[in-house]
């Protein structure tokens, strides 16, 4: 029972990061029907930006903020330099995938050049030291902070999408670009904002993961991208509540399969799950009670 | 003349082989792209073909040709099993399902130690793949694609690429055509996997991940899906480029990224769209088959 609860704690903290990252991917898909494969690179850049700020001795909330803005700016750049150009030139959807991957490659190359290929860790902070033992279950303060930060980010996003005019514009464009134009939404600007939000979430997820596992490397983005795509499928493409639930689900499944089956099959179980879902319920696990997109 | 050729092959043989191998792979992926199937399963099929053929040559002592064909056939069989349910899904779901397939194969390769050697992979694979075999196979692939594009089957594929709902209404068996193309693509990718394994002395699970699949997709897309020689041009361009950019591995990645971005942004129809020698009238009668989804 203790092992079980311990895995729940570990799974939730990992899953919250997956959720934050995957929301960005699924938001872009919901609005534009494309997959931005550069999201993983934004995640990596976010982790490095946060690391640099933390190494300067500045407080961690500032690191998170810088990573948010940095990731968001990169997201906007990818829209302005790649996706918008492709849309204007009438390029095929495939080109977007190839281009976003080329962009990711570029960023990984730049990160290697600037920061080197070695694995870095965040400087020691007081949060890792504080550990509570509740009935035999170890809970790090850091884990609690990661989960709370993730939930706050998701809360801000949910509020923005549901209650603000920017959010309404995003949801209208997701419903139909033509309808959005008819009712006077500035489609180009709204798409730009969507890319900013998605990039910002990826950057923030980078800092959170870097803190939780204390590992930052130029190649961490590719791994995360795979997780993000997995969560997207679990939750249904473009389905934000689905991505939240799917992120936590994937975190729990991975942690539990390490604890109870074998660490070797952690990934196999996740991907087996995707395959099963695509065959049985391709619109995602949670499409039954949430049909709306973005 | 022959001496010059020998000298050239001695110094650039590896590069030539790699170009030929990637050209073959590009046509394998083209088979799927031709019917608008954005497959990320290429890496998975290559892995299946590679491990199967290595098992045949090293464990069973089968001849090389038999082993490569066996690898291709096993990959084709896997493609049939995967494709039958997955091809009923919409385009984006198809892409993600093939992506999941590749990752499942990678994880299996990582853990099935008896056959795949686990994370370490298999070393010391005998080198059976020869340049002339690859040249022959590329020529066969070129002829096959040339014949395919002119056939009734090829026309129906072009129709599917333009608009699958409309072609279904016109009596094209969209599902059947796509499934057969997907199986053919699996066969070619599996065969290339076997050839690659017997060229590099080594196979390991990290050779066949998501990046492998996307690289393979980039060949025909960068070269141009509509031109016969497009996949070949794309494959050779993408293979030679990193060799030409030998400054440092970081700068190579940066320049590769920039160059691919430039091609995608300035030539959205692929590099072959530069050479539009077709007269205007004929071009108007047969409009570009690169439709929206």
Residue A264 has its nearest CB partner, among B89, B110, B256, at B110
Domain boundaries, chain B: 15-285
Residues B89, A29: C-beta atoms closer than 8 Å: no
- pLDDT tens for each residue of B75-115: 999 999 888 888 877 777 788 788 888 888 888 888 787 77
Residue B4 C-alpha, separation from nearest chain A C-alpha, in angstroms: 37
CATH class of domain segment(s) B15-285: mainly alpha
Mean pLDDT confidence for A116-129? 76
Residue B154 C-alpha, separation from nearest chain A C-alpha, in angstroms: 21
- pLDDT tens for each residue of B211-243: 788 888 888 888 888 888 888 888 888 888 877
Identify the band that residue B1 occupies on the pLDDT scale cut at 50, 70 and 90.
low
pLDDT score recorded for residue A200: 95
Report the alpha-carbon distance of residue A229 to residue B268 in Å, rounded. Answer: 25
Residues 106-135 of B with CB under 8 A from A: 107-108, 110-111
Among A128-142, B84-98, B178-192, which range has the highest average pLDDT?
Answer: B178-192
Interface test with B, best of A271, A283, A285, A287 (most B CBs within 10 A): A271
Domain boundaries, chain A: 2-280
Look at A69 and A126; give whichever has higher pLDDT.
Answer: A69
| Three-state secondary structure of chain A | CHHHHHHHHHHHHHHHHHHHHHHHHHHHHHHHCCCCCCHHHHHHHHHHHHHHHHHCCCCHHHHHHHHHHHHHHHHHHHHHHHHHHHHHHCCCHHHHHHHHHHHHHHHHHHHHHHHCCCCECCCCCHHHHCEEEECCEEEEHHHHHHHHHHHHHHHHHHHHHHHCHHHHHHHHHHHCHHHHHHCCCCHHHHHHHHHHHHHHHHHHHHHHHHHHHCCECCCHHHHHHHHHHHHHHHHCCCCHHHHHHHHHHHHHHHHHHHHHCCHHHHHHHHHHHHHHHHHHCCCCCCCCCCCCCC
Residue of chain A nearest B36, judged by CA positions: A94
- Please state, as a whole number, how many other Cβ atoms lie within 10 Å of the Cβ of residue A31: 27
Report the alpha-carbon distance of residue A138 to residue A230 in Å, rounded. Answer: 28
- pLDDT tens for each residue of A235-289: 888 888 889 999 999 898 888 888 777 766 666 777 777 777 777 776 777 765 4
pLDDT score recorded for residue B209: 77
Report the alpha-carbon distance of residue B126 to residue B129 in Å, rounded. Answer: 9
pLDDT score recorded for residue B46: 93
Residues B268, A279: C-beta atoms closer than 8 Å: no
- pLDDT tens for each residue of A27-85: 998 888 888 889 999 999 999 999 988 888 888 889 899 999 999 999 999 999 888 88
Q: Does domain A2-280 have CATH number 1.10.3470?
A: yes
**Chain A CB within 8 Å of residue B175 CB:** no
pLDDT surpasses 50 at A290? no
* pLDDT cut 90: percent of chain A above it: 27
Residue A281 C-alpha, separation from nearest chain B C-alpha, in angstroms: 10
């Amino acid at each position: 029972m203790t092992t079980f609860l311990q895995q729940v704690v570990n799974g939730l903290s990992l899953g919250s990061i997956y959720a934050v990252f995957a929301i960005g991917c699924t938001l872009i898909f919901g609005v534009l029907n494309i997959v931005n494969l550069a999201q993983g690179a934004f995640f990596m850049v976010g982790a490095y930006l946060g690391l640099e700020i933390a190494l300067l001795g500045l407080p961690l909330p500032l690191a998170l903020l810088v990573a948010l803005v940095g990731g968001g700016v990169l997201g906007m750049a990818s829209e302005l330099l790649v996706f918008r150009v492709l849309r204007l030139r009438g390029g095929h959807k495939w080109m977007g995938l190839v281009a976003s991957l080329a962009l990711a490659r570029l960023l990984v190359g730049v990160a290697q050049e600037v920061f080197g290929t070695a694995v870095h860790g965040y400087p020691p902070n007081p949060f890792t030291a504080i550990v509570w033992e509740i009935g035999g279950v170890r809970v790090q303060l850091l884990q609690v902070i990661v989960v709370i930060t993730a939930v706050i980010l998701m809360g801000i996003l949910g509020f923005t999408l549901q209650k603000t005019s920017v959010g309404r514009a995003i949801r209208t464009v997701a419903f139909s670009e033509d309808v959005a134009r008819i009712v006077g939404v500035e489609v180009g600007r709204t798409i730009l904002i969507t890319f900013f939000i998605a990039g910002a979430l990826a950057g923030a997820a980078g800092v959170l993961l870097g803190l939780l596992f204390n590992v930052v490397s130029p190649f961490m983005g590719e791994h995360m991208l795979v997780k993000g795509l997995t969560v997207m499928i679990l939750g249904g493409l473009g389905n934000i509540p689905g991505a939240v639930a799917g992120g936590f689900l994937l975190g729990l499944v991975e942690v539990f399969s390490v604890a109870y089956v074998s660490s070797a099959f952690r990934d196999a179980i996740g991907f087996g799950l995707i395959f099963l879902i695509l065959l049985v319920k391709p619109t995602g696990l949670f499409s039954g009670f949430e049909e709306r997109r973005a | 003349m022959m001496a010059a050729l020998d000298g050239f092959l001695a110094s650039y043989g590896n590069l030539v082989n790699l170009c030929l191998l990637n050209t073959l792979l590009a046509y394998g992926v083209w088979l799927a792209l031709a019917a608008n199937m954005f497959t990320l399963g290429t890496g998975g099929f290559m892995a299946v073909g590679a491990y199967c053929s290595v098992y045949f040559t090293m464990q069973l002592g089968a001849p090389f040709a038999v082993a490569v064909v066996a690898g291709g056939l096993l990959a084709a069989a896997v493609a049939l099993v995967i494709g039958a349910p997955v091809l009923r899904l919409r385009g984006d779901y198809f892409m993600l399902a093939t992506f999941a397939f590749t990752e499942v194969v990678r994880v299996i390769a990582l853990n099935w130690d008896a056959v795949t050697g686990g994370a370490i992979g298999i070393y010391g694979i005998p080198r059976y793949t020869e340049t002339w075999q690859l040249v022959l196979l590329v020529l066969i692939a070129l002829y096959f694609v040339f014949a395919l594009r002119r056939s009734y089957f090829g026309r129906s594929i072009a129709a599917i690429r333009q608009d699958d709902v409309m072609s279904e209404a016109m009596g094209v068996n969209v599902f059947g055509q796509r499934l057969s193309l997907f199986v053919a693509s699996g066969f070619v990718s599996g065969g290339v996997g076997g050839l690659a394994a017997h060229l590099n002395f080594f196979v390991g699970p990290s050779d066949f991940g998501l990046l492998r699949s996307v690289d393979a997709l980039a060949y025909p897309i960068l070269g141009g899906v509509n031109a016969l020689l497009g996949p070949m041009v794309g494959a050779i361009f993408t293979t030679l480029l990193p060799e030409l950019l030998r400054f440092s591995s970081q700068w190579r990645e940066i320049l590769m990224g920039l160059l691919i971005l430039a091609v995608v942004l300035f030539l959205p129809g692929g590099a072959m769209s530069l050479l539009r020698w077709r007269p205007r009238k004929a071009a108007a009668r047969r409009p570009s088959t690169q439709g929206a989804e």
